[in-house]
Amino acid sequence: MESDMGGRGDDRNRTRADIVDVAARLINEGGVGAVTTRSVAAAAGVQAPTIYRLFGDKEGLLDAVAEHVFSAYVDTKRSGVQTDDALADLDRGWSTHVGFGLANPALFTLLAEPERGKRLTASAGGIDILRERVHRVALAGRLAVTERRAVDMIHAAGTGVVLALLAMPIERRDSALADSIYAAIKRAVLTDVDDAPSAGISAAAIALRAGLSETSVLSEAERVLMAEWLDRIAAD
């Protein structure tokens, strides 16, 4: 009996995975509008009620597709080689993000929907990777703003520039736009970049704040107080 139940569970998972793969292909080929219960059921070789049973409705299916595609993308970023150059790793992360968006226009637009993004665990995973990379830049003393501000700015710019490029006709798409936006962001959040203003004591405070959790000479209460002071200095 247990073996039969396990077999049915495996069949259900395979059917679910097949439907998600089919829906992802349809989105890549014809956009989100190409995904209907009828089209997915026909392409996957299942009955329409199967889709409702597994995903609830079309939105549930789209969530599953977005989760699947973005999880694979995040896993690729997470497994990438980390070098000793925190800034170079941040640069590569930006390029990878833009490249993924332009290679998967319909899926990226789906992922960029704010409400859908809140529902996806993979979306949070992508932000976590960005936070880790920004944290390393902060530890290197190269951050001119707080880590949270840097993450928010890079994330917003990355999403916005890809959507802007996707909105352009391919023949008029400005391939240098993403580089120009990133250069502007770097001038705003980093020290010693082109004409970026020197952050001085703020950069030192941000670097110390980034490594505060690793110190063992302070009590927990002292770390909390020191973190508050450093945040205030960094924001000054």
Nearest to 123 by CA among 178, 136, 115: 115
Range of the domain at 108: 82-235
Residue 195 in any domain: the answer is yes
Residue 190 in any domain: the answer is yes
Site of tokens 């009620």? 49
Supply the DSSP symbol for 197.
P
Cα separation, 57 vs 36, in Å, equals 10
**pLDDT for the residue numbered 7:** 59
Sequence letter at residue 140: A
* Cα end-to-end span (Å), the chain: 67
Please, are residues 101 and 157 in contact by the beta-carbon 8 Å criterion?
A: no
**pLDDT for the residue numbered 220:** 85
Cα separation, 128 vs 34, in Å, equals 32
Residue 16 in any domain: the answer is no
Cα separation, 86 vs 132, in Å, equals 10
DSSP sequence for 77-99: HHTSPP-S-HHHHHHHHHHHHHH
Residue 59 in any domain: the answer is no
Q: Which segments of the chain have a pLDDT < 70?
A: 1-9, 193-200, 236
CA 16 to chain centre: 24
**pLDDT for the residue numbered 200:** 65
Provide the whole-model pTM: 0.76
**pLDDT for the residue numbered 17:** 93
Residue 29 in any domain: the answer is no
Residue 137 in any domain: the answer is yes
Please, are residues 144 and 196 in contact by the beta-carbon 8 Å criterion?
A: yes
Q: How many CA atoms lie within 13 A of 207 on its CB side?
A: 15
**pLDDT for the residue numbered 213:** 78
Domain count, the chain: 1
Residue 34 in any domain: the answer is no
Residue 155 in any domain: the answer is yes
